[in-house]
Structure 1
């Protein structure tokens, strides 16, 4: 993917981010006015906006790590993730800066598409779709920023000159950013294609809208958005979902980030979480599954949860034994201590020099079903409207369907706990656990009667960190504070 459009990016300064992280200046030979001449130019600019999803600070590494390492799902002895592991991050923590920078880079690329593609002489239907896809991408990047950092600068036009007056913007509130995300997604749904290979579609925007509204505790809107996802279904088996690879036979994948597996378009994340010899070499890995999570999942059940049961021996391409698969995890049995014990097994690429061809799921239909169940339960308690989508996820995992007489459905509180449980077991390691724990904490803060078994505050106590609301968002990176006088640090940092 990257090799296709990088020359155009340099010429148009599309590598400049919407914040003050600007490291490219526009060239005199090519400008937006003389670049956007035809359909190929429009498609290239959109490809650049998609490429922002591959960056180290987005789905190539740090966003996934930020969404799991602080949570009860994962641990690690690797010093690169120590701050996330121990909940002691600050404004100079590498992931804090990388996630901010990479998502704003994506915002700026999407803004360029939205500004210039409408002027291109080309097929009008495809032109509208391109702009719709760019709005979806801008919404995704801004959603990542808002839930990670709270109120951030909201820029809806590209930063093209690099001048302080062009890039220094005062922050909007978190709610204002979320409002824009909702607006972008609503517009994207009208403009995007019903379906298309390797790209976002209407269902992608609907599923993201459901996630956004769930995060905001807009239960009715979350339920409506989840129910608006049409034509999707769960894959026949959970194990068959991994690794993500745009399987034509599955309508569960609503959006995933593409990786080609070459030096300019590979996914380095699998090498950071898999044991050797699946990984390129042996070292302390990121996102090691916690013993508590493994016990919570109960991998010992021979006829139990198909997402976590014994699934046989795993060998490398050379025939060397790597360990035993338990579907979501692999128990490594290598000679080196670094390759022994549990590891994430939702990315399964054979070592390729940190250039895996495994894709990364952003949105799956299983999550959308769980969103519908949660929103319905918060609105009306354990009715059939909540149980039906929840049971689809449970039954695919080999678990019995719940009925109104089930203990889990005795009350809104008991069903809430069951939905929390299924989200954790279904979506483990896919970058959502910490954000779920944060929104559970915010839910109880907003309504003390709405309790959850585990929240971000629970994890803070477990890590012997004083529970504090300031840890529910990350600090603004110091480099941004140094260069943008209009922005202030988040409280508590």
Structure 2
């Protein structure tokens, strides 16, 4: 693991250097001065550069590169921590403390990303350049509204009550730089407001080039995120969620379900099912996440990997007879280390997270789907159940099941809203494992506490089940201690 840590330090250093170079022309990581914001974005090319810097957060922020999977899949019943990192064990064991360094790193990256979007929204109306058409100005603002909404969504689903930041500030006034938390409902209201603006301003496509249409925010992406937000908020709006899902399906972008294996084989990027994906291209713009959990036969190294699929997840695939999605998601391999859940002896065969399939020496081109149609169809089914349209909901779920050769839902599944909701929750798990969705799903369905406390995972070193002892205070992450020390308005 010393070798691994050295490699990680090299990778993170390279990523930081890349971010500093990439952002230097657009946005500094520290607050931008009044002079810079007033004179630094006065023509079309500079504004486009600022927008590019806003998208760059999806590649440089550790949350989107890897921590999203930790806090969604490892924290839930889908995966174990693996590896040997104490802070990741905290995530797995639900013992996360405010001093866990990943919290402050993620918090800072996300608010930095929002600040970038706010600069674009501030400067876009003021740029006077004949090269900037009014159509493109509107699109740029729509993209920035979407990005601001996406990062606020990540924050509210992770931390619950968080500050809302809708304006860039260069002030040193404590009242402006030490904001108070807003309620979850207020944050979701802001997210929906931004997304409605984005929907009005964004096109369905930017032309025929999929590498552009899947890399940039579109009306389809804004509608998809609005559907998620409408369901995730404390008081779900089922009709709004349904309307947003239908808008995605009616988009002239013509989103379609594709072969499930093609979603994750590394050869079908920017496909018809993809709505928005991070454009890792390898090399200096590569994804280092796959190296962290792919098996030795693929990664080319022998240290103990992270994000180990759980017995409970494998059992769920087995119980459903879901061979296609299991094999696209998990790969079993014998290892030269001891795994406390899969084999308390060297040489045991254990499962590896496998939706990313190419390590490429810390510079993979494997991508994480930020939004895809399969997710939206299951959100649509969820909204229909909320409206008590169970038959219509089952039709949507069966679309997802049929493409992986599973039978339609049973009569027992359709018996009530409760049974249909459970069927959808289970379907989402099998469909979206290792895509950073599970914890939010359990929270939204009101089952996160009961699922974690009823989870039976035997530590083979002791022969005893691990006791999560979860309560509702652990649903959201603690605010980072460094931020609490800096801002006394965050209680």
Shorter-chain TM-score tier: 0.7 to 0.9
Structure 1 partner of 2:77: 72
| Cα drift, residue 478 of structure 1 | 0.4
Go from structure 1 to structure 2 and tell me whether the alpha carbon gap of 1:465 and 1:337 turns closer, same or farther (over 3 Å shift).
Answer: closer
Structure 1 partner of 2:23: 9
Structure 2 partner of 1:321: none
Residues 214-223 or 109-118, more deviating? 214-223
| Cα drift, residue 284 of structure 1 | 2.5
Aligned residue among 356, 362, 387 for 2:364: 356
Q: Distance in 2 between matches of 1:469 and 1:487?
A: 20
Aligned residue among 396, 405, 417 for 2:422: 417
Q: Distance in 1 between matches of 2:454 and 2:19?
A: 47
Q: Deviation per CA, 1:460-480: give whole Å up to 9, x if none.
A: 454523332111111110010
SS at match of 1:61: helix
Structure 2 partner of 1:366: 374
Q: Distance in 2 between matches of 1:456 and 1:435?
A: 12
Go from structure 1 to structure 2 and tell me whether the alpha carbon gap of 1:233 and 1:260 turns closer, same or farther (over 3 Å shift).
Answer: closer
Matched, 1:269 2:277: no
Go from structure 1 to structure 2 and tell me whether the alpha carbon gap of 1:96 and 1:457 turns closer, same or farther (over 3 Å shift).
Answer: farther
Paired residues for 1:51-450 under 5 Å = 51-80=56-85, 81-120=88-127, 121=129, 122-161=132-171, 164-196=174-206, 197=212, 198-216=215-233, 217-229=236-248, 230-231=250-251, 232-243=254-265, 247-248=269-270, 250-263=271-284, 265-298=285-318, 301=321, 304-308=322-326, 326-334=327-335, 340-352=349-361, 354-383=362-391, 385-402=392-409, 406-441=411-446
Kept in 1: contact 2:324–2:404 (CA 8 A) = yes
SS at match of 1:409: coil
Structure with bigger helix share is: 2
Structure 2 partner of 1:448: none
Go from structure 1 to structure 2 and tell me whether the alpha carbon gap of 1:391 and 1:124 turns closer, same or farther (over 3 Å shift).
Answer: same
Go from structure 1 to structure 2 and tell me whether the alpha carbon gap of 1:64 and 1:160 turns closer, same or farther (over 3 Å shift).
Answer: farther
Residues 63-72 or 275-284, more deviating? 275-284
Q: Distance in 2 between matches of 1:4 and 1:271?
A: 19
Q: Distance in 1 between matches of 2:356 and 2:393?
A: 31
Go from structure 1 to structure 2 and tell me whether the alpha carbon gap of 1:258 and 1:12 turns closer, same or farther (over 3 Å shift).
Answer: closer
Aligned residue among 466, 485, 489 for 1:486: 489
Matched, 1:459 2:452: yes
Kept in 2: contact 1:192–1:202 (CA 8 A) = yes
| Cα drift, residue 93 of structure 1 | 1.3
| Cα drift, residue 307 of structure 1 | 1.2
Gapped runs of 5+ residues in structure 1?
17-21, 309-325, 442-453, 489-493
Q: Deviation per CA, 1:41-65: give whole Å up to 9, x if none.
A: 1111011111111234321121221
Go from structure 1 to structure 2 and tell me whether the alpha carbon gap of 1:471 and 1:280 turns closer, same or farther (over 3 Å shift).
Answer: same
| Cα drift, residue 94 of structure 1 | 2.4
Structure 1 partner of 2:8: none
Kept in 2: contact 1:244–1:360 (CA 8 A) = no
Go from structure 1 to structure 2 and tell me whether the alpha carbon gap of 1:186 and 1:280 turns closer, same or farther (over 3 Å shift).
Answer: farther
Q: Distance in 1 between matches of 2:16 and 2:221?
A: 22
| Cα drift, residue 398 of structure 1 | 0.7
SS at match of 2:186: helix
Go from structure 1 to structure 2 and tell me whether the alpha carbon gap of 1:293 and 1:12 turns closer, same or farther (over 3 Å shift).
Answer: closer
Q: Distance in 2 between matches of 1:4 and 1:330?
A: 32
Question: What's the TM-score once normalised by structure 2's chain length?
Answer: 0.84
Question: What's the TM-score once normalised by structure 1's chain length?
Answer: 0.84
Residues 48-57 or 183-192, more deviating? 48-57
| Cα drift, residue 299 of structure 1 | 8.2
Q: Deviation per CA, 1:13-51: give whole Å up to 9, x if none.
A: 5423xxxxx6xx65x9x7222221222111110111111
| Cα drift, residue 165 of structure 1 | 4.7
Structure 2 partner of 1:473: 476
Structure 2 partner of 1:446: none
Q: Distance in 2 between matches of 1:153 and 1:356?
A: 34
| Cα drift, residue 129 of structure 1 | 0.4
Kept in 1: contact 2:425–2:445 (CA 8 A) = no
Gapped runs of 5+ residues in structure 2?
1-14, 207-211, 340-346, 456-465
Q: Deviation per CA, 1:182-215: give whole Å up to 9, x if none.
A: 0000100111121142212110010111111111
Go from structure 1 to structure 2 and tell me whether the alpha carbon gap of 1:328 and 1:13 turns closer, same or farther (over 3 Å shift).
Answer: closer
Q: Distance in 1 between matches of 2:17 and 2:42?
A: 21
SS at match of 2:369: strand
Q: Distance in 2 between matches of 1:257 and 1:163?
A: 36
